[in-house]
Structure 1
Amino acid sequence: MDKSPDVAELVKELGHHSDAIRKRAAYTLSNNVGDPSFADIFIAEGGLSKLRWLILNATGNTLAYSLKALDGFLEVDKGWECTDPEIVKRAVELVVTQPLVNILRGAMGVLIAVVSHPYVSSTKPVDPDAFGYRALRPSIAAFPQFLESLVNRLSSADHTLCGNSLQLINSLMRDVIANGADNEWPKYIKKLQDLGVIRAVYELMQGSILQDLAQPLLEFQALTKILLRKWAAVVVDFSKSEHKRAIRAVYQASKTDKDGRVSDNSESYDPKTSTGAEKWKRLGFATTAPAAEFDEVGYLGMMDLSDFVRRTETQFQKLVLEQSNQTYEKRCPIARASIAVTGILYDHFDIEKADLEDTKELIGIDSNSNIDKLFKPMLLQWSRLHVAGLQAFFGLWKSAGAELENFDKIVELVRILLEEVLGNSSRTRDITSIEDEIQSHDRERLRELQMELLEMSYEDTWRDHLKKVREGLMEEALQFIKEQRIRCLLGGQWFPISLNESKAQAGKSDSEDGWRFVRLSHNRRVLHYADFESRETLDHDLTDLPEKLDLSKVTSVVSNLAKKEVSANSSSTEVHIPVTGIPTKIVINGQVPRTTESSSSKHHRKTSSSTSGRKEIPLLTLYPPDQVLAAEWLDGLLVLLNQPPITQETQQLLKVMCDSGLRVRLLNVKYEEAPNFEEMKSKIPSREQLDYDYYYDVFGTA
């Protein structure tokens, strides 16, 4: 173990006239500042003044070690008296002008500590202007390239330097959001955005170095949520110049003549007057007071609307012109749709949960799969997602021929669309492909997802009722399918007498040996059939079919339609489905009568199972030309033999019928009508004035 340095000697060497000795002393100091007791002794020996002088005057490695030492003191909450405005300015200057990585790391570390001091230190600063964003403001004014330098460092190949830059950006954001004036933090955030911080962090989140940058990236993600929540909390007020400018830009962009050209600005603009306010309905506001309609999403919704207009001005003008030619009931409410999409994104990213405490989830990071769950790079593409979602809204409105009364239904479809696309997108997926998928939505698929979600949303509340309804629907569907399959047999069908493998693979059903027509008798006990040279257009009556097969003699049905072997027993009748083959065939088997047995066969019977006394032979073979026909006849025969239908086609039909019936019932039920079973159990009505013929069903199932 290295011996602890002599503090007094170390302080003396820091002020030595030899640069080599000063550098060695600074190096030793930087490696020992993690011990609070050492820091106390060093400060007591007057070492801070020597360290401060080195930071202001040294260069190269001596400067790097000195900055690292001061950063170490601040981490153990010591040496704050050294962080005066001159030191802060020196650190800001180094960030802007210094190319050496080791110096930049130390300078950024000191600035991070100064900005974060009110949040991490056990001692509250006496002068609030000495720490936080305010402490850096004069120095940033002297070096206006400071923020740009920080953003540029985010693309550094040195991961530590990149992390330090982002951490310093986060510290500045956090402090200005918490302590900046109402008109200060928006300007600061906008400046960072203009410098490209969003794009830079987005690329880092989609990159492969997340483990090294996890902490600052998650903090930036949490701060982004806080910003969105803060903007949503700002009430839209057209008396504020910024709000008025934003809504005026939307209003002016919407003014087109009948040929689609932007009209002049001679028309008066005043959102407070009834004359000007009537024009807001043309944009899709529900009332003549548009400011109030942003209550749910605040100024965030106003920003999203104005951003959509700015990004798609030509499309927006064309849309307004198209909608102005529609009747009022059929007009797409553009502004309301924009506000709705903002709300959908707000809910999807769970903005209300926005808190820096989100970074505590880092404890669970131990694999790439967990990282993918924690990081939401699409949150940083908010504006583009809003534009894509709003365009999808317009597409759904048009394709559905919707009217104003259908507004909430279209909103719900857009919600499902965004949840489906964003929820199933990986961390590394590019925003462009997500935009394309949102734009290429399938309305029918969205309706299917909506019904699935509807069923799931009712599942917990209506669990017992849904189970009974589903069981009843399945039984009804099964009886219907059974009867339908038997009616296929009653109607009769043509089958090739033989079908070779090559023709089956080519999709042909031509028979060189002729055709066989098979029909079930009206009493459903006998199969009638006959062979013909060619397939006729007319079906044959039973009188034309001399061959008969008594179903009571059938013992098994064999088919290669299914992929697995399935067997079911009922009254000694078996159904076997062997491995799939080509061509598809159905073989109806029966047993030959028991014959006189020899002594050897008797001996064999004694050692055999009781079920092997008879030999099973084919009674009739059918070659269905397609899988649908094969499913109808195979399941029809099974039903006649008191067996359940087993083919995939039939099972799919059963599922579709059951699901459709259940969803039709759910569409007629309101969620709030769900029964409170506990309340029903506790509130049994009085039997006063009732005779003994009256009864009450507690669970309402009678």
Structure 2
Amino acid sequence: MEDLTSCILDFQANIVRVTYRRKTTLVDPDSEPSHKAALQYIWESSQLEESLDENGQVSKWRKLGFDSEDMVQEFSEVGVLGLDCLKKLVENDQDFSKLVLEQLSRAPERRCSIAKASNEVVELLSEHWAIFAPGYSTSTTFQPFFLDFYKVHSLATHFFLRMWTESGAAAGDFTRVVALVRSQVKVALRSENVRPWHEVEHDFNEREYRAVRDRQMKELELEDDLLSKVPVRNLRAKLYKESYEFVRQQRIQCLLQGAWFVNALLSSSPRDPPRRPNRPWRFMRLDPGLKYLHYVDSAVKFPVRGGLEDLPERIDVSMISEIATGTCAPPPNVLRDQNDLPPTSPLVASPLSFSLLSAHEGSLADQIAPDQSRWADWTDGLNMLRRDGGHVASKETAGFVQALTEIGLKIKLLDLSGEKVEIPSGLVAGPPPTNTDFFFSDLL
């Protein structure tokens, strides 16, 4: 399992990037046949018929809970991901048409907007799993439920509809129900790397409204409701990206400065036979162009000058396809008199070890860092340097990104609260211009 950890986290980070790409890809049924087919399937499954409203306008998608008939606009925030989630919801619910008819049979102010609820759940799950931007994935643990995004979305959307009914919600209560669902998402998906799936299903399918509401009220006593407002959520996403980039630059600076490592033995890997290093110590430094890791092997540590003159060997960074951790052990007798490395037995994998693996050439380097901080700097720095972004391996780096995000958010909110600025729950577009006689009119 240890050998697969790095690969699984890489795969998970790639799925985050794919999910973000789908979320930011606009739905365009006029030019994308697959989008048109998905919408057609959803409509046919509802078993509804088009009609005219009191203003003589066609009423079709509004019957499913959209605010308008413009599908490009309705899916603008959740993109193709939102469309796929709604389609999967319809596919997996044999009673979808009954669900739609049940809502339409209610008074207009008592209907739950099924389509809007679906899109809102997509936003809540994206927020929970920090799907903010390509390459920005700081999870250091497995997230098996994320890998079945559609199934979790279906459970959470049905929970949304049930909370709406059990709470007797009306049109103006949509935001209140969203807050309930957000609270339940955090509870149901907690510690997902160790929780069994049936407990997640139970949390979404069996929890009663009163129990969820009571827990949420206790949560609201501990945190400001301001944090759940849409503009604040968007601000958090922006600050998260900035914090990640700041930590990334800091980690890369550590690589540019260089560090000493122990040349290690592979403890047990089927991909590469064990080999004993000729010299026990290696100094590595990234070149200013961020393309090569220059290094020198030595029998003893010595003062290394700035630049690359003392480092005759190099590793092409583009050849590194994976940074595996906990893979190798120190050679015998190397650490016996060294005080700057943690004690460990030969042939037992060190927790501070890492290997630079190539897809075609096996292991390019097997090193042991002198301490936890140096290990986090280099494993995460090299992952962040990779073309595909890699994954964050250490909780230390993930914690830095999260802490910087929260500090930045609190500072921004202090600025706003100090000026007594009211933050709205949503932004409403103003009326269209009375004429198009202005410079940017051709962009409308």
TM bucket normalised to smaller: 0.3 to 0.5
Return the index of the structure with the highest Cα Rg. 1
Q: TM-score, normalising length from structure 1?
A: 0.31
Q: Where is the strand percentage greater, Structure 1 or Structure 2?
A: 2
Q: Which has the higher contact order (CA 8 A, sep 6+)?
A: 2
